[in-house]
Structure 1
Amino acid sequence: MSTPHDDIQGWLRDRLGSLWGAPVTIQGMRRLSGGASRDTWSLDATTAGGSAQPLILRCDPLVKPSPEVMAREAAALSAAAKAGVPVPRLVDHGTGLGRAYLLMERVEGETIPRRLLRDERFAAVRPKLARELGRVLARIHSLPPAAVPDLPEADPLDHITSVYREFDDPRPAVELGLRWLSDHRPPSSRRACVVHGDFRNGNLMIDESGIRAVLDWELTHVGDPVEDLGWLCVKAWRFGSAEPAGGFGPREELLAGYAEIAGDRPSSAELHWWEVYGTLRWAVLCRMQADRFLSGAEQDVEYAVLGRKVCEQEYDVLLALGLVEPGTLPDVLDSRDDTAAAPPHDRPGADALLRSVQVFLTEETTGDPRLRFLSKVAANAVAIARREALLAPAHTEAHARRLAALGRRDDRELAEAIRDGAVDPGDPAVLVAVRGGVTDKLAVANPAYAAQAAR
């Protein structure tokens, strides 16, 4: 019986054979880990007597295909290459096996942020990357909108506000952030240009010499160029580093590199606005991915856990607005004796059983990179469930008291009051309720996140 893997490999053989005019052999095909929106494979394709061509195949998921987005991404790659942006060479794109695809050269290097930020082999190049990233962004922004046909264009704040409100899940911290963005929006006379839309650590192929390729152009659109600069500096993309520009260096280096090519240096106020915007945008995108799980469309553990990352971005919004300071949140799971049973049940108790599953998933060593990645995500899900079981009763009681002090029954009422101006967002009692709710959620979802440095 053939598998989906076999079907894709057979189709690739036929498609590349037609393109290259010779029989093709496909070897080393494997699905890559990460990437919640696309299926991605690495492979080598060889013609008789020829050398192996290292390739990457990206396909739309079967559940929610978007061929028009894939076509725009292909056009963006071609236009960016002409502008001197380092990108993978586009080999082919279209539809196959009932879904849209991109086929491109496989560029060698590293994309995993924690390796890029910590491994000794990147120590020499790391200090140079912030400035180099600024230069690359300036080249991307040299592209006029007409260079990539049919790019979407919308007011960014209106767009994320609309998407957020469609969830009908009002959140006080998000409402504070949206209100601040509306009140502090900087005037901009910059011309609209091609914006990458997801330019960040994790979507960059880097080796010891520098940036090899900018990846993942699916969110490309027409907009303000400072959006990309702010997105790169969002705290989530620093992966624990204190350096703002993707974890690699200071904002000043990023802006200096940008000015070298663009001839224009955005102000600190502009960049800060777009950082706050990007933080809220990531909160909304996490909630959007979680909705794929909550709606029942996809029961993938990755989408489920993304729903619990929203509070990290709520915390970062408060941090960016100066409403909270980095601090230490204790992890209730540390040094816990969880072996006691609940009579008449035997030992080990329920929490110890969950811990054993968490440890197993954390130490899963299967050779399949995708399964290894999802094992880590599943271990995180178990840890979240354990913390919630232990902390939820006290958190529920404490949050009810905070809300009662404001005359509100739940977060929905508080969020809507902030949105409508019925409460003063600077009221200390409002800030106590918002901070308390966010930090309680973070204490369950990822307590270590609260201590991560920020500048």
Structure 2
Amino acid sequence: MPDARGLAVSGLERISGGASRETYRFRLSWDGGERPLILRRDPPASLIETERRVEFEAYRAFHGSAVPVPEMLWLEEEDDALDHPFFVAEELCGHQASPQVLLSGAYDRVIPRLAERKWMILGEIAKADPAALGLTAVMPAPPLDACWRRELDHWEALIDRDAVEPLPITRAAIRWLRANPPPPAQKLSVVHGDYRTGNYLFDEAGEIHGVLDWEMAHLGDPLEDLGWSLQPVWSFGREGLAGGLVPQDEAIAAWERASGMKADPAALTWWILFNCVKGQGIWVGSAKAFTSGGNRSPIMVYPAWWLINAQDRAMLKVMERL
């Protein structure tokens, strides 16, 4: 803002959570204006290591589309200003994100509408053309028949690197995934990478106002995102309900209507199980970051304490071994 005068930051506070980025809200004021903003900064060690330009460009690509996202304003990739790279975005005020709030009973009346919106927005992401959005310039585009292998290789390597104890159920799931690969992707899609209850802003009418946390965005099989959204740990204890919201077949039907694609049951099962492995890679990685001293924030160890055993049980459930 080179022409602005009287620039001042006020009300700076850190928002809890955010294990892959530090997130702050603040108000920026200047002569003649004021705006609530969000700052996302890289932490010393992250739950997942990601490229902030990819996240920034994913947000920018979908801004103003059928996929609601906050406006991205500035990206700084050097360390000299705030010790770590960061970006600044508009704050979408007055909405909720917490799964605990959503599933408290207060929103039961609008959950069917919200669930339909959730999976229809995911279908819009799957339907979008990555090249037309300009994202092939910042995200590698794998061949359609290699999407599954690239992702499984990546997350298995992270588990190999970070696991501090044996993970026999996870290793069994990986063996099954390699022995039973899915068909090639129907199309190359933008994959949000963490599309779940808790990563979107909603209101009391059941509308979704912002899809957040694009730090794991990449190009790949659209069933990967759908599988993550149906991962059993994201039912938050509400057995049989996708994302803790509605039966799985209703979620899939909404996604199919919006995306124009079909979710082959066998291929979708493969991607749900893969996402259980991916989840375990995230949880053991966060534990490693905490125990090694790279990041002693409680948010780093909480997912491991809460989810490693739950993720094992989810894998057994998907493999029909529980």
* Bin of the TM-score, shorter chain as denominator length: 0.7 to 0.9
Q: Which amino acid aligns with 2:162?
A: F
Change (3 A) 1:67 1:112: closer
Q: CA RMSD in A?
A: 2.3
**Structure 1, residues 29-88: CA drift from partner, whole Å, max 9, x if none?**
2111011121111112222343x4121111111456999811111111111125421001
**Matching residue of 1:370:** none
Q: Is 1:255–2:237 an aligned residue pair?
A: no
SS of match in other structure, 1:56: strand
Change (3 A) 1:54 1:20: farther
Shift of residue 267, structure 1, vs aligned partner:
2.1
Change (3 A) 1:67 1:137: same
User: Which of 61, 86, 99 matches 1:113?
Assistant: 99
Q: Which amino acid aligns with 1:69?
A: E
* More off after superposition, 298-307 vs 179-188: 298-307
Distance, in Å, in 1 between the alignment partners of 2:48 and 2:245 is 33
1 or 2, which has the higher helix percentage?
A: 1
User: Which of 244, 265, 273 matches 1:268?
Assistant: 265
Aligned length: 305
TM-score by length of 2: 0.87
Change (3 A) 1:288 1:68: closer
Structure 1: give runs of 5+ residues left out of the alignment: 1-17, 325-455
**Matching residue of 1:391:** none
Q: State whether residues 273 and 315 of structure 2, in contact with CA within 8 Å, keep that contact through their aligned partners in structure 1.
A: yes
* More off after superposition, 75-84 vs 190-199: 75-84
User: Which of 164, 168, 171 matches 2:167?
Assistant: 171
Q: Is 1:28–2:25 an aligned residue pair?
A: no
Change (3 A) 1:262 1:43: same
Shift of residue 141, structure 1, vs aligned partner:
1.9
Q: Which amino acid aligns with 1:104?
A: A
Change (3 A) 1:244 1:159: farther
**Matching residue of 1:54:** 36
**Matching residue of 1:158:** 153
Distance, in Å, in 1 between the alignment partners of 2:154 and 2:258 is 30
Distance, in Å, in 2 between the alignment partners of 1:260 and 1:306 is 33
Q: Which residues in structure 2 correspond to 1:88-107 (within 5 Å)?
A: 88-95=70-77, 96-107=81-92
Distance, in Å, in 2 between the alignment partners of 1:130 and 1:271 is 19
Q: State whether residues 32 and 41 of structure 1, in contact with CA within 8 Å, keep that contact through their aligned partners in structure 2.
A: yes
Q: Is 1:303–2:300 an aligned residue pair?
A: yes
**Matching residue of 1:139:** 124
Distance, in Å, in 1 between the alignment partners of 2:244 and 2:4 is 45
* More off after superposition, 213-222 vs 310-319: 310-319
**Matching residue of 1:81:** 63
Distance, in Å, in 1 between the alignment partners of 2:48 and 2:274 is 26
Change (3 A) 1:94 1:143: farther
Q: State whether residues 188 and 221 of structure 2, in contact with CA within 8 Å, keep that contact through their aligned partners in structure 1.
A: yes
SS of match in other structure, 1:307: helix
Q: State whether residues 50 and 215 of structure 2, in contact with CA within 8 Å, keep that contact through their aligned partners in structure 1.
A: no
SS of match in other structure, 2:117: helix
Distance, in Å, in 1 between the alignment partners of 2:259 and 2:193 is 18
Distance, in Å, in 2 between the alignment partners of 1:59 and 1:92 is 12
1 or 2, which has the higher strand percentage?
A: 2
**Matching residue of 2:183:** 187
Percent identity (aligned): 31
**Matching residue of 1:319:** 317
Q: State whether residues 190 and 224 of structure 1, in contact with CA within 8 Å, keep that contact through their aligned partners in structure 2.
A: yes
Q: Is 1:230–2:227 an aligned residue pair?
A: yes
Q: Is 1:218–2:226 an aligned residue pair?
A: no
TM-score by length of 1: 0.62
Structure 2: give runs of 5+ residues left out of the alignment: none
Q: State whether residues 48 and 282 of structure 2, in contact with CA within 8 Å, keep that contact through their aligned partners in structure 1.
A: no
Change (3 A) 1:53 1:67: farther
Q: Which residues in structure 2 correspond to 1:35-50 (within 5 Å)?
A: 35-50=18-33
Structure (1 or 2) with the larger CA radius of gyration:
1
SS of match in other structure, 1:124: helix
SS of match in other structure, 2:246: coil
Shift of residue 19, structure 1, vs aligned partner:
5.1
Q: Which amino acid aligns with 1:166?
A: R
Distance, in Å, in 1 between the alignment partners of 2:32 and 2:102 is 37
* More off after superposition, 260-269 vs 109-118: 260-269
Distance, in Å, in 1 between the alignment partners of 2:44 and 2:175 is 38
SS of match in other structure, 1:252: helix
**Structure 1, residues 298-353: CA drift from partner, whole Å, max 9, x if none?**
333332343333122112111222212xxxxxxxxxxxxxxxxxxxxxxxxxxxxx
Q: Which amino acid aligns with 2:293?
A: G
**Structure 1, residues 269-311: CA drift from partner, whole Å, max 9, x if none?**
2222211111111111100111112323233333234333312
**Matching residue of 1:282:** 279
Q: Which amino acid aligns with 2:303?
A: L
